[in-house]
């Protein structure tokens, strides 16, 4: 990854008014190479409470580097000995600089910025950061200057959130483990009827059969772990209105071939540490994946015609070759399809349109390689059939010309 100094936009905010009622600042960072970094100047004065909401372009993280600065007091003496986040009376409940590295404004997961050594450096989890400074009435004078820089990862697409922490015979996924997982929901309802996978800030990949014969307005639900986001507060769960539905022109409902589609949201999907896109398998255009292990995830039934889980489930499945899959189905499985078979494990009703994921052992990068298409019951003697994403990369790129992807 590489570090970029951000735009010619210098923010020096001084919050030094006692009892200030409104001290809230919002900064959207736009960057270009060689430009000067924005700065936030935190003046340690009595009775202040200031907040800073900072956002950067998707695909970047924000690095905040803070250090003490000498400042003259009222008697023209240089102040060099202040140690944030504590005041002279050591009331750390009232005086502190705290930062949410995930950008949460409620600061539920925030940590203190300590500066006993005079400087500190923190990095956001995604492209947003929220910082707050409070002081007591007994605060010392001094200045704490924070410089903002952007960290640009090598790639925009995301892997699993391993540390966050049915499908038949699967297990519960960790909350937000699959940040690229989404669900299709009809407007006015809360029930996910098909899965989808976020592939860019506007597009999600799903099955064509999920997008035909729809009655009503379609929405895309992202950032959700529980099937019904209203059962438990989740600040990351968002419904996005779908602007465009794209079904592959050669989709054959009878043969269930070319079973792939896209949805484009009306507004940009806001990416954060819990919501992001997955890599498309450009690297694996020629791979059959036979014998490899994959992960599928979804809110589908736990058994054929059985109940659905309350939370997102995941399962590890093995890819079988197309020839044996064709034999078991007694029908042709095309090169644009792929099959999985693992005894007693499977995707099931309600998982349609959802992803089949592959983790590259070389770099641990996460790819969507399949879209759940069809099966015979759930976890029976017949393999499950998926649309092979690598066979449709050119079509996806053509249909989504207003966005971009990382090529790895």
Active site residue 209: yes
Catalytic residue among 259, 346, 351, 373: 259
Q: Which residues pair with 96 in a beta bridge?
A: 134
| Beta carbons of 378 and 372 less than 8 angstroms apart | no
pLDDT over 90 (residue 114) = no
Residue 155: pLDDT band with limits 50, 70, 90: low
Active site residue 259: yes
CATH number of 22-70+93-151: 2.60.120.290
Catalytic residue among 37, 200, 352, 373: 352
- pTM (two decimals): 0.63
CATH architecture assignment, domain 173-400 = Beta Barrel (2.40)
Domain spans of the chain? 22-70+93-151, 173-400
Residue 389: pLDDT band with limits 50, 70, 90: very high
Min mean pLDDT across 69-78, 100-109, 181-190, 344-353 is at 69-78
Q: What is the pLDDT of residue 333?
A: 96
Q: Which residues pair with 134 in a beta bridge?
A: 49, 96
Please indicate whether residue 85 or residue 197 has the higher confidence score (pLDDT). Answer: 197
Task: Write down the mean pLDDT value for the chain.
Answer: 74
Active site residue 91: no
List pLDDT tens digits, range 180-223. Answer: 999 999 988 888 899 999 999 999 999 999 999 898 899 999 99
N residues, the chain:
408
61 phi/psi in degrees, rounded to 5: -125, 160
- What are the angstrom distances between the C-alpha of 240 and each of 169, 274, 325? 31, 16, 37
Min mean pLDDT across 11-20, 31-40, 169-178, 343-352 is at 11-20
List pLDDT tens digits, range 121-140. Answer: 788 877 788 888 777 666 65
List pLDDT tens digits, range 248-268. Answer: 999 999 999 999 999 999 999
List pLDDT tens digits, range 293-317. Answer: 888 888 765 555 555 556 788 888 8
- The H or E element spanning position 241 is strand 238-247
For residue 66, what are its two tokens?
């803070």
pLDDT over 90 (residue 332) = yes
Catalytic residue among 176, 209, 248, 273: 209
Q: What is the DSSP string of 6-72?
A: B-S---------TT-S--EEEEE--B-TTPPPPEEEEE--SS-EEEEEEE--TT-EEEEEEEEE-EE
Coil, strand, or helix at residue 72? strand
| Beta carbons of 44 and 144 less than 8 angstroms apart | yes
Average confidence (pLDDT) over 329-354: 87
Q: What is the pLDDT of residue 29?
A: 67
């Amino acid at each position: 990854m590489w570090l970029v100094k951000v735009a010619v936009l210098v923010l020096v905010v001084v919050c030094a008014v006692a009892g200030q009622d409104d001290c809230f600042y919002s900064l959207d960072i736009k960057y270009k190479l060689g430009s000067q970094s924005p700065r936030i100047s935190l003046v340690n004065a009595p009775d202040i409470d200031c907040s800073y909401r900072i956002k950067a372009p998707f695909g970047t993280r924000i690095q905040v580097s803070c250090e003490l600065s000498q400042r003259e007091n009222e008697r023209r003496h240089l102040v060099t000995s202040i140690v944030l986040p504590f005041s002279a009376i050591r009331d750390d409940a009232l005086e502190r600089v705290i930062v949410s590295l995930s950008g949460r404004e409620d600061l539920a997961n925030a940590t203190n910025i300590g500066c006993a050594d005079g400087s500190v450096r923190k990095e956001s989890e995604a492209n947003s950061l929220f910082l707050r400074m409070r002081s007591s009435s007994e605060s010392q004078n001094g200045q704490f200057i924070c410089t903002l820089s952007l960290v640009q990862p090598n790639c925009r697409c995301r892997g699993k959130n391993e540390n966050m922490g049915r499908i038949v015979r699967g297990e519960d996924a960790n909350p937000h483990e699959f940040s690229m997982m989404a669900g299709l929901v009809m407007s006015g309802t809360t029930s996910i009827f098909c899965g989808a996978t976020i592939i860019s800030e506007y597009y999600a990949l799903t099955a064509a059969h999920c997008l035909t014969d729809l009655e009503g307005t379609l929405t895309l639900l992202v950032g959700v772990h529980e099937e019904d986001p209203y059962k438990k507060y989740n600040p990351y769960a968002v419904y996005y209105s779908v602007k465009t539905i794209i079904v592959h022109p050669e989709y054959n409902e009878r043969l269930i071939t070319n079973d792939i589609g896209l949805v484009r949201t009306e507004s940009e999907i806001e990416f954060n540490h819990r919501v992001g896109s997955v890599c498309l398998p450009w690297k694996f255009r020629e791979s059959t994946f036979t014998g490899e292990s994959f992960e599928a995830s979804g809110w589908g039934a736990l058994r054929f015609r059985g109940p659905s889980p309350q939370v997102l489930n995941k399962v590890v499945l093995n890819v079988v070759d197309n020839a044996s899959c064709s034999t078991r189905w007694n029908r042709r499985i095309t090169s644009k399809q792929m099959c999985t078979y693992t005894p007693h494990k499977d995707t099931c009703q309600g998982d349609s349109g959802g992803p089949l994921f592959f983790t590259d052992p070389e770099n641990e990068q996460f790819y969507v390689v399949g879209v759940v298409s069809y099966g015979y019951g759930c976890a029976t003697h017949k393999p499950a059939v998926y649309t092979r994403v690598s066979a449709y990369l050119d079509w996806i790129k053509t249909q989504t010309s207003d966005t971009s992807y990382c090529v790895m």
